[in-house]
């Protein structure tokens, strides 16, 4: 790496429970974290979703990069420090009678570093999750950029879908936080939210943010990581 061992990036991955909880607390949590990018699950995806997504981003002091309805509630937000180069959305094959799921992607640049930001929210149905994880992983594996991935996987690290997504990537929680549960806030008992990065990316710090505010803001705790991205020579 150059430029003082890489470009810094602060990432927040957060299932916001469709804003059903304390929205003032939610905004305060994100603003206090001061992230460069936020990977959101359960973002606006229905009527007036564009306006609602923009309002959500503004409450965080950020802007919308990608996602929303086309990604079925997965939303990528960025600060003005991050330049968004290209975006795309993905919808997983629909199982009749189930909720549709998808993913959002944004090719980004910070300083001299380029990376792919990706977010997804897998099914609560254990029969559906492995296929969705495989579809998500194919997109990640095809990327020619280092990836930063946030997802609500609806299962823990022992599950097949989790292993599929995590394969070949660094679990940002592995160093010191692998035993920290992310759900539900009222009685945490499971780690179903993950943040994964390309091995070329350095995880400087990671936290599952458990505070009085986060317990009011959503039913999931947010994941917060400080990263160092590789800079092209």
Judged against a pLDDT cut of 90, whether residue 15 lies above it is answered with yes
pLDDT at 1: 46
Task: State pTM to two decimals.
Answer: 0.96
Give the residue-averaged pLDDT of 174-186. Answer: 92
Judged against a pLDDT cut of 90, whether residue 60 lies above it is answered with yes
Band the pLDDT of 175: cuts 50, 70, 90: confident
Rounded percentage of the chain residues whose pLDDT exceeds 70: 96
Lowest mean pLDDT among 88-102, 162-176, 207-221: 88-102
Evaluated on CA atoms 22, 24, 27, 33, the torsion sign reads: negative
pLDDT at 137: 98
Band the pLDDT of 98: cuts 50, 70, 90: low
Band the pLDDT of 93: cuts 50, 70, 90: confident
Cα distances (Å, whole numbers) of residue 22 to 74, 104, 219: 20, 25, 10
Winning range, highest mean pLDDT, from 2-11, 45-54, 219-228: 219-228
Winning range, highest mean pLDDT, from 3-7, 87-91, 94-98: 87-91
pLDDT at 5: 75
Q: Which domains does the chain have, with CATH numbers?
A: 7-229 (3.60.10.10)
């Amino acid at each position: 790496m150059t430029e003082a061992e890489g470009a810094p990036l602060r990432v927040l991955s957060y299932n916001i429970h469709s804003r059903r909880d304390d929205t003032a607390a939610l905004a305060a949590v994100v603003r206090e974290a001061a992230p460069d990018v936020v990977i959101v699950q359960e973002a606006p995806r229905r009527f007036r979703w564009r306006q609602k997504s923009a309002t959500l981003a503004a409450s965080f002091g950020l802007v919308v990069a990608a996602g929303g309805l086309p990604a079925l509630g997965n939303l990528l937000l960025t600060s003005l420090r991050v330049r968004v180069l290209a975006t795309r959305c993905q919808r997983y094959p629909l199982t009749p009678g189930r909720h549709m799921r998808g993913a959002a992607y944004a090719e980004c640049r910070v300083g001299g570093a380029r990376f792919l930001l990706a977010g997804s929210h897998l099914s609560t149905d254990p029969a559906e999750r492995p296929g969705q994880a495989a579809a998500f992983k194919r997109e990640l594996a095809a990327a020619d950029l280092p990836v930063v991935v946030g997802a609500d996987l609806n299962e823990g690290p022992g599950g097949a879908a989790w292993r599929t997504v995590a394969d070949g990537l660094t679990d940002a929680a592995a160093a010191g936080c692998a035993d920290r549960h992310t759900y539900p806030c009222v009685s945490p008992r499971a780690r179903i939210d993950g943040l994964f990065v390309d091995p070329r990316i350095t995880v400087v710090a990671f936290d599952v943010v458990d505070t009085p505010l986060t317990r009011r803001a959503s039913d999931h705790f947010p994941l917060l990581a400080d990263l160092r991205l590789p800079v092209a020579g």
